[in-house]
């Protein structure tokens, strides 16, 4: 495939409400694609379909590599007894590189450490996820996606809850991933994210705008 993901004729409805109507989109390699549109336009649904979290009743999705999905989770129950290290490590569960050899435990640990450093979380590794600020949680989830080392990275509102400096760093990280050939797609309303993207897809009322 010339595209990392190719989706054709996607349709999806919730309780009779058509959310996506005959949507077709290609996700290119080595670029940051911003998926934008008004609230209720179908952006998160399309992202979940591309990631394989949902299955379309109509349409076809072809993926050329493994996918890492970074979701927005600003809230966390206090009873959730996992640390930053635990959450980032979850990104390596079942993770693999293309090729015959699986990732060793040492490779997974190195990936977790590198992702934590890139997300500016050094020193917070043993902090409980539930005690973090919203921005710190979002950076932890970004690190989880990076630790997976997937060739396709999908993110739902990655800048949500981040301060301006952290937003700038997050954009830089996504650009770095794209420069390595990773296909990056992020759902966003942020004008700076849209301006920094290599490609912009606008979705309104379940359809791609020309």
Q: Is there a contact between 182 and 161 (Cβ–Cβ < 8 Å)?
A: no
Q: What pLDDT is stored for residue 163 in this prediction?
A: 86
CA-to-CA separations, 84 to 16, 25, 131, in angstroms, rounded: 40, 35, 10
CA-to-CA separations, 175 to 7, 64, 66, 79, 199, in angstroms, rounded: 23, 20, 19, 35, 12
Q: What pLDDT is stored for residue 24 in this prediction?
A: 96
Output the DSSP codes for 117-184: HHTT-TT-TTSBGGGS-HHHHHHHHHHHHHHTT-SEEEEESTTTT--HHHHHHHHHHHHHHHHTT-EE
User: Does the pLDDT of residue 96 top 70, yes or no?
Assistant: no
pLDDT digits (tens, 9 = 90+) for 46-57: 999 999 999 999
How far apart are the C-alpha atoms of 114 and 161, rounded to whole Å?
Answer: 22
pLDDT digits (tens, 9 = 90+) for 127-174: 999 888 888 888 999 999 999 999 999 999 887 778 888 889 899 999
């Amino acid at each position: 495939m010339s595209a990392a993901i190719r989706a054709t004729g996607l349709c999806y409805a919730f309780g009779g409400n058509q959310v996506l109507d005959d949507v077709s989109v290609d996700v290119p390699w080595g670029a940051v694609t911003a998926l934008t549109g008004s609230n209720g336009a179908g952006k998160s649904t399309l992202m979940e379909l591309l990631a394989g979290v949902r299955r379309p009743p109509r349409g076809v999705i072809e993926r050329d590599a493994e996918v890492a999905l970074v979701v927005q989770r600003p809230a966390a129950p206090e009873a959730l007894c996992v640390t930053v290290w635990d959450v980032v490590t979850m990104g390596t569960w079942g993770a693999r590189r293309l090729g015959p050899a699986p990732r060793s435990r040492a490779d997974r640990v190195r990936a977790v450490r590198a992702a934590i450093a890139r997300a500016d979380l050094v020193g917070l590794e043993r902090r409980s996820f539930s005690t973090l600020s919203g921005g710190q949680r979002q950076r932890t989830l970004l690190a989880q996606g990076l630790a997976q080392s997937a060739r396709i990275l999908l993110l739902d509102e990655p800048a949500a809850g981040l301060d301006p400096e952290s937003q700038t760093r997050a954009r830089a990280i996504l650009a770095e991933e794209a420069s390595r050939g990773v296909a990056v797609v992020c759902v966003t309303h942020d004008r700076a994210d849209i301006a920094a993207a290599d490609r912009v897809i606008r979705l309104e009322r379940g359809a791609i705008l020309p």
